[in-house]
């Protein structure tokens, strides 16, 4: 930046200096053609589409899923009735880890943080009465992404919807699980092979589906700064592209369907700058490192979720304000779709009313403000352009440190990203504890006594119901056909064939998600992280 911080300067969450005043000198020697371009044109700093929201607003998604498939289906129907333009599925922890609801490891967790999906029968109930050829669905699932996507495809087939009409996204970002979240199953190399198999399968069968959502959101929830979020996410993206190219795929055959997932924090200006810098960096990487020629391969398209980690249980109604600010940052940063958190999520699962209020927040932004009237209103801003350049420089420096370690996977195995994120999380915690970082209602402007709040609670009987559904499933299916299908899946996993076709056959025979993942565990093993670094 221009000068050393003094008493009149502040720092961003990434530690970059924010000047009290910016003027023309901040952009001295700055080439708008090189740094900005036009909206919808390389390097996409100003947005991936020429008209952005002037033609239509971003896709308004609401992340939902809890308890049984029937309960989640009811919530989805409510959200659609209230104007949601896309669904986003939250799965419970056993499903995320590739375990069936009746395994001892699932005890106490069934339906708690998302919906339990064990088989095609559950997926059928989840989307009952929802036309899959008309809605866009995002599924936040990683290690078992392949079986969950195939279950979705099977239910669409039952509805008479061909796979090439399906639109949506499957997260499928296993590398960030090793870094920040922990719902991994297999070691990195077979996990990357599974990602590449999904790229190939969807390229042939589901060309409108986004095959991966490369996620910085969960790194941010673990404590990553905006610079770390972008640097480590783009480094993961590079690793996925390299894997697919090494598997013999042409970069322009799969890159247009790559998507990203970022957080939007309350630090408004840095967040806007972060999104703009990320687009510019990715466009250059895809063109210069991978030789992509299709303009769509250069576009960093992303979904945004407001920052759950910044929600507070104290004075939870303040979260309505936080979410509105965060949502506006995402919109002015050029997101393609947005989920706004409910104000009570720091306490429990959102109620119907709080989920509706979260959606209404987006609708106010889209219809009652003028932010959709023009593309990239911050272009040319001395402050935002300077911050965009500063974020870009810091991100490239951190990406170089990952590259020096041999790339994202090698750095993960060394514990580099995890350690960097933990250091930043500790710094933020120290600043909050000392009061240097103000959190309204937590370390300043507190109430002597909090108002009572009745959260939504999941019925513990759900686990018993789900276990009984599995018992009936196993009793009624053709067990020999399931065993044969799982054997074919293991054979593919042990060779070089794409594992998704035999996996789909097994799921059609009503094999469970846990059984499919168990078959792959037998061949590929499981990942055991280092205890310490």
Residue 251 has pLDDT above 80, yes or no: yes
Cα distances (Å, whole numbers) of residue 37 to 170, 186, 411: 31, 42, 34
pLDDT at 203: 94
What percent of the chain stands above pLDDT 90?
Answer: 87
Helices (H), ranges, 335-453:
352-367, 382-404, 408-414, 416-434
Strands 17-18 and 10-11: antiparallel
Higher per-residue confidence, 82 vs 283? 283
pLDDT at 3: 47
Which neighbouring-strand residues pair with 259?
213
3 state DSSP class of 102: coil
pLDDT at 6: 54
Residue 141 has pLDDT above 60, yes or no: yes
Which of 331, 423, 321 shows the shortest CA–CA distance to 14?
423
Residue 526 has pLDDT above 90, yes or no: yes
3 state DSSP class of 138: strand
Q: Which two tokens stand for residue 146?
A: 């392949």
Q: Domain boundaries in the chain?
A: 173-186+207-341+372-444
pLDDT confidence bin for 533, thresholds 50/70/90? very low
Residue 82 has pLDDT above 90, yes or no: no
Q: Which two tokens stand for residue 114?
A: 């998302």
The DSSP call for residue 444 is B
Q: Which two tokens stand for residue 373?
A: 């009237």
pLDDT at 7: 54
Backbone angles phi, psi at 422, to 5 degrees: -65, -35
**CA pair distance 48, 52, nearest whole angstrom:** 7
**CA pair distance 103, 109, nearest whole angstrom:** 11
pLDDT tens for 66-77 read: 778 998 999 889
Residue 223 has pLDDT above 50, yes or no: yes
How open is the CA angle 467-468-472, to the nearest 5 degrees?
Answer: 120
Cα distances (Å, whole numbers) of residue 262 to 171, 326, 327, 377: 12, 12, 12, 21
Average pLDDT on 315-344 reads 97
pLDDT at 8: 64
Q: Which two tokens stand for residue 105?
A: 């490891």
Backbone angles phi, psi at 240, to 5 degrees: -65, -45
Q: Would you say the C-alpha torsion 69, 118, 304, 44 has a positive or negative sign?
A: negative
Report pTM: 0.92
**CA pair distance 192, 533, nearest whole angstrom:** 24
Average pLDDT on 16-40 reads 93
**CA pair distance 355, 361, nearest whole angstrom:** 10
Mean pLDDT (the chain) is 94
**CA pair distance 310, 317, nearest whole angstrom:** 13
- CB count within 10 Å of CB 55 equals 10
Residue 132 has pLDDT above 50, yes or no: yes
pLDDT confidence bin for 532, thresholds 50/70/90? very low
pLDDT tens for 464-490 read: 999 999 999 999 999 999 999 999 999
**Residues 267 and 12 sit within 8 Å (Cβ to Cβ):** yes
Domain 173-186+207-341+372-444 grouped into CATH 3.20.20.240: yes
CA 125 to chain centre: 24
What percent of the chain stands above pLDDT 70?
Answer: 97
Average pLDDT on 251-256 reads 96
Average pLDDT on 503-516 reads 98
């Amino acid at each position: 930046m221009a000068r050393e911080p003094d008493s009149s300067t502040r720092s961003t969450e990434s530690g970059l200096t924010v000047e009290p005043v910016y003027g023309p000198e901040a952009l001295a020697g700055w080439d708008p053609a090189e740094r900005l371009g036009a909206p919808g044109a390389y390097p996409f700093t100003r947005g991936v589409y020429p008209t952005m929201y002037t033609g239509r607003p971003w896709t308004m998604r609401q992340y939902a899923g809890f308890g049984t498939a029937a309960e989640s289906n009811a919530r989805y129907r409510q959200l659609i009735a209230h104007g949601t333009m896309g669904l986003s599925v939250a799965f419970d922890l056993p499903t995320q880890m590739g375990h069936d609801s009746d395994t001892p490891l699932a005890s106490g967790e069934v339906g708690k943080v998302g919906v339990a999906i064990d088989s095609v029968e559950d997926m059928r109930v989840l989307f009952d009465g929802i036309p899959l050829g008309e809605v866009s669905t995002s599924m936040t699932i990683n290690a078992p992404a392949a079986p969950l996507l195939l279950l979705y495809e099977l239910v669409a087939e039952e509805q008479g919807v061909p796979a090439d009409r399906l639109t949506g996204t499957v997260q499928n970002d296993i590398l960030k699980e090793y870094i920040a979240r922990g719902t991994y199953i297999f070691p990195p190399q077979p996990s990357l092979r599974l990602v590449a198999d999904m790229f190939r399968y969807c390229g042939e069968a589901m060309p409108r589906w986004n095959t991966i959502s490369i996620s910085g959101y969960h790194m941010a929830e673990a404590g990553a700064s905006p610079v770390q979020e972008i640097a480590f996410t783009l480094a993961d993206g590079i690793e996925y592209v390299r894997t697919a190219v090494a598997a013999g795929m042409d970069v322009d055959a799969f890159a247009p369907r790559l998507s990203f997932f970022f957080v939007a924090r309350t630090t408004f200006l840095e967040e806007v700058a972060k999104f703009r810098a990320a687009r510019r960096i990715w466009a250059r990487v895809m063109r210069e490192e991978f030789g992509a020629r299709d303009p769509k391969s250069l576009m960093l398209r992303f979904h945004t979720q407001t920052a759950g980690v910044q929600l507070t249980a104290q004075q939870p109604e303040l979260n309505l304000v936080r979410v509105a600010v965060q949502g506006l940052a995402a919109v002015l940063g050029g997101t393609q779709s947005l989920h706004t958190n409910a104000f009570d999520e720091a306490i429990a699962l959102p109620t119907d009313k709080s989920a509706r209020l979260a959606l209404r927040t987006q609708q106010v932004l889209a219809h009652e403000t003028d932010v959709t009237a023009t593309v990239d209103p911050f272009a040319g801003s001395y402050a935002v352009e300077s911050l965009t350049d500063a974020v870009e420089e810091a991100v490239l420096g951190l990406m170089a440190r990952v590259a020096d370690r041999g790339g994202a996977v090698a750095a993960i195995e060394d514990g580099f990203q995890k350690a960097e994120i933990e250091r930043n999380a500790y710094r933020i915690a120290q600043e909050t504890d000392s009061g240097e970082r103000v959190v309204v209602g937590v370390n300043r402007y507190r109430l002597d006594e909090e108002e009572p709040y009745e959260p939504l609670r999941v019925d513990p009987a759900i686990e018993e119901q789900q276990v009984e559904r599995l018992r009936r499933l196993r009793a009624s299916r053709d067990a020999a056909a399931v065993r044969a299908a799982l054997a074919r899946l293991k054979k593919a996993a042990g060779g070089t064939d794409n594992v998704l076709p035999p996996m789909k056959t097994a799921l059609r025979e009503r094999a469970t998600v846990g059984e499919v993942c168990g078959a792959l565990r037998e061949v590929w093993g499981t990942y055991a992280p280092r205890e310490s670094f």
